[in-house]
Structures are given as C-alpha cells and as structure tokens.
Amino acid sequence: MSANTISIYNFVVLTPSNQQYLYCLQDFSSSHHTGEFLASEIKKIIDKIGAKKFSAIVTDNASNVRLAREIVTKDYPSILNLRCIAHFINLITKSILGNIL
C-alpha cells in the first residue's frame, strides 16, 4: 500500500527467455486484501493466460499473500509456490541495519 493509502498490485510475467512483461496493474484500494480475494485475482490471470504457461508464483511473504499462493497452488499443483528472495534479503538487511544503527 502506498503512503497515500492507494493499494496497487502489479502482475509481472517472466517468459522462458527471461523477458519480463508488466501484465497488468490492479487498484485494490477498495477491496479487502484477504488471501481468498488475492487468490481469486491471481486465478483470473492464470486462467486468462493459460495455466500450462505458468511454472511458479512469486510474491512477498505477507500472511494474506502467502495464503493466496497456497490456495492457487492447491488448485494448480503444477505451479510452484515461491517467496521472493529479493524481498526476503531486503527484510534481513533492514533488520541487521536496524540493530546496528
């Protein structure tokens, strides 16, 4: 969520040739960010593009987003459920620096 309480989610698709495409931006400011809601939004994109074209879903590890990944991968068992390592490293770094400063 941004500083002005606008909640924009971006959906990026990475192709097998490592090309990244911004698939869409969604304004979820007026929606409840439950795991079930986010899972339904992710499933809409998967169904539109085609489940066989997906190998993984990568997100941060907020509890609602983690639940959404779990719901999606339960319905699509061939799609991996992954945490974003860059986000994880960012959190660790903030923690370490917070303890030093």
**Domain assignments of the chain as residue spans, ordered by start:** 8-100
CA distance 69 to 81: 6
pLDDT for 77 equals 94
In angstroms, rounded to a whole number, what is the distance separating the alpha carbons of residues 55 and 18?
Answer: 13
Q: What is the pTM for the complete model shown?
A: 0.77
* HEC sequence for 37-82: HHHHHHHHHHHHHCHHHCCEEEECCCHHHHHHHHHHHHHCCCCEEE
Q: In the prediction, which pLDDT does 3 show?
A: 56
Q: Would you give per-residue pLDDT tens digits along the chain (101 residues)?
A: 445 678 888 898 888 888 889 999 999 998 888 999 999 999 999 999 999 988 888 888 888 999 999 999 999 999 988 887 776 787 788 888 887 76
* Type of residue found at 61: N
CA distances to 5, 7, 9, 53, 67 from 29, rounded to whole Å, are 7, 5, 10, 29, 19
